[in-house]
Structure formats: C-alpha cells, structure tokens
Amino acid sequence: MRALLIIDVQNEYFTGKLPIQYPQNAMTNILKTIDIANSKNIPIILIQHSNNNENAQTFKTGTSEWEIHPDILNKKYNIIIEKQLHSSFTGQTHGDITLMI
C-alpha cells in the first residue's frame, strides 16, 4: 500500500517562531502533491508535531502555531497522527494505520 505523508506542515513554520524561508514555493508544491495523491486515490496522512511541555516554546499543543496549516486542512486527507518526537518514525507505533485509511 502507498500513502502520502505530510509531515509537520504547521503554523509554527509560517506565522510562528520557525518561519520557512526556503524554498519559497514549499506550500504550493505540497498542495499540488496532495491534489495529485487525491486524484490517484492515494491515502493522505497528516503528521503533526506536538509538544505537551507546559514551558514549550514551539509546537505547544493547543496553540495556533501547533495547528496544521489551514491550506492543508482544506484538502481531503484520511487521518491526522500526532507525534511527540522530532522524527515521525522513531518511537512511534503506527502498526494499525492501514486499518484507519
């Protein structure tokens, strides 16, 4: 099975403390890729970095910067998975994703 993983496309990188400056067309390319995946019925999984530390400076759960960018949320996707570590794969248990998509 194939799936498109959209990882950490959150407001923190646009209006928060970690703005993406390069490449300038990153969001456009991500949105095009989502459209292509949807046109081919490829499942789309959004992965969201979450920091539950009350003193967190970035990606603090529940803040507007933590939220997935609205342009992404306006697209069709299958599931959102939260992660606590920087890597989307380290320490994660995603064994049942295929049952959810």
Determine what percent of the chain is predicted with pLDDT higher than 90.
51
The class that CATH gives domain 4-78 is alpha beta
Largest CA distance in the chain: 42
- What's the Cα-to-Cα distance from 17 to each of 11, 32, 73, 76, 84, rounded to whole Å? 9, 26, 21, 27, 18
Tokens linked to 32: 């095009």
Domain boundaries, the chain: 4-78
Tokens linked to 56: 């967190």
Task: Quick: pLDDT tens for 48-73.
Answer: 998 888 888 888 999 999 999 999 99
pLDDT number for residue 37: 98
